Structure 1
Amino acid sequence: MTKVLVLYYSSYGHIERMADAVAEGARGAGAQVDIRRVAETAPPDVVAAAHFKTDSSHPVIESADALAGYDAIIVGAPTRFGRMPSQMASFWDTTGGLWAKGALIGKVGGAFTSTASQHGGQETTLFSLITNLLHHGLTIVGLDYGFQGQMGVDEVVGGSPYGATTISGGGGERQPSAAELDGARYQGRRIAEVAAKLAA
């Protein structure tokens, strides 16, 4: 059975909801899926002052070495000025040993993100996540146009050929829409399908 890791960082719960949808899609393709989050690195007073969401049913990933046990790794994080946040970057900075051994070469990867506004850096943030995966030798699967939910213009909707996205609003008031969650499920399913084919 194909093993998929959904690895995420979420400040306010938007990416956490997207991670659940990505995992749902991958499970729908018959994969065994684990959802893990990276550790919070912001000081406790900053977390409290910013009202970060601190309760989650998903455990923190214990070690970067765990990545080697998966056939596919799907990474989600919100934007910080058009790139991944320091919490996720700090995690990937611990993966040098895996890189040196080529431990992730040939696996399948993908990314998803959220921004406050429609033009808040969704694609550049996805590329900042994908860049790490490419350096590790993963084959990237995005949100292809088989998912037509990203094509409409009659409502505000995230989505990019580079990965599933959501728009949170300036105060985090907007939760992922049905179309955005469907995009996350679609991408999760596609990644699991590709990983299964490569492992066959």
Structure 2
Amino acid sequence: MANYLILFYTKSGNTKKMANAIYEGIKNTELGASDFNLDLYNISDNNIVMHELENYDCIIVGAPIHYGKLASPMNDFLESSFENNISLEDKIGGCFTSYGVDIQGAELAILSLVQFFLEQGMIVPGINKEEAFGQIIAGTPDDEILSKCREYGQKIAHLTKSICT
């Protein structure tokens, strides 16, 4: 049984739209499979307990970029996993980000998520040559971006299924 978590923080709602599209991609890939779990949590809702992260096989993290850095609520949440001795070793990690109009720092922000995954001993797949480690968008995601997010969810689901079964 594969357990998926999409964990996100949003301010404008753009990151949530991306998270929902990734959710759809995973759900459509797992269609017909009776033994999978797929959760979608906004950290602003305070409905996830840090130790629950260890129960997931795949954790996909999304947050906006503020001033070239990952939004501090998500950054603080992830950093607290080290303080709480959370073990995420050998789990699949995926990431996505959004930003307003200033692209500066977008790649560094996504690399900070990749660095978190690697420091935790997680497996981080690339997407393709253009997007490398995760989806990065400016402004409101359009149909093309949401389609790419669904494809990303499908790719992560295929990888997770191949490792977890």
Is TM-score (shorter-chain normalized) higher than 0.5? yes
Q: CA deviation at 1:117?
A: 2.8
For the 8 Å contact 2:68–2:103, the answer to whether it is kept is: no
- Partner in structure 1 of residue 138 of structure 2: 167
Secondary structure of 1:139's counterpart equals: coil
- Partner in structure 2 of residue 5 of structure 1: 5
Is 1:66 paired with 2:52?
yes
List 4+ stretches of structure 1 deviating above 6 A.
none
Q: How many residues align?
A: 159
- Partner in structure 2 of residue 115 of structure 1: 99
Q: Which amino acid aligns with 1:5?
A: L
For the 8 Å contact 2:3–2:58, the answer to whether it is kept is: yes
- Partner in structure 2 of residue 154 of structure 1: none
Task: Describe the superposition over 1:148-184 as per-residue Cα deviations: whole angstroms up to 9, x where unpaired.
Answer: xx6xxxxxxxxx222112211xxxxxx2111111111
Segments of structure 1 that go 5 or more residues without pairing to the other structure are: 40-58, 151-159, 169-174
Q: Paired residue for 1:85, among 67, 71, 84?
A: 71
Larger radius of gyration: 1
Bigger proportion of residues as helix:
2
- Partner in structure 2 of residue 157 of structure 1: none
Percent of aligned pairs with the same residue? Answer: 28
- Partner in structure 1 of residue 33 of structure 2: none
Higher normalized contact order (CA 8 Å, seq sep 6+, divided by chain length): 2
Q: CA deviation at 1:118?
A: 6.7
Task: Describe the superposition over 1:3-40 as per-residue Cα deviations: whole angstroms up to 9, x where unpaired.
Answer: 1100000001000000000111111221531000113x
- Partner in structure 2 of residue 189 of structure 1: 154
Paired residues for 1:1-200 under 5 Å = 1-30=1-30, 31-39=36-44, 59-96=45-82, 97-99=84-86, 103-117=87-101, 119-144=103-128, 160-168=131-139, 175-200=140-165
Q: CA deviation at 1:119?
A: 2.8
For the 8 Å contact 1:98–1:104, the answer to whether it is kept is: no
Distance 1:27 1:98, change over 3 A: farther
Q: CA deviation at 1:136?
A: 0.7
Distance 1:72 1:84, change over 3 A: same
Secondary structure of 1:196's counterpart equals: helix
Bigger proportion of residues as strand:
2
TM-score normalised to the size of structure 1? 0.74
Segments of structure 2 that go 5 or more residues without pairing to the other structure are: 31-35
Secondary structure of 1:74's counterpart equals: strand
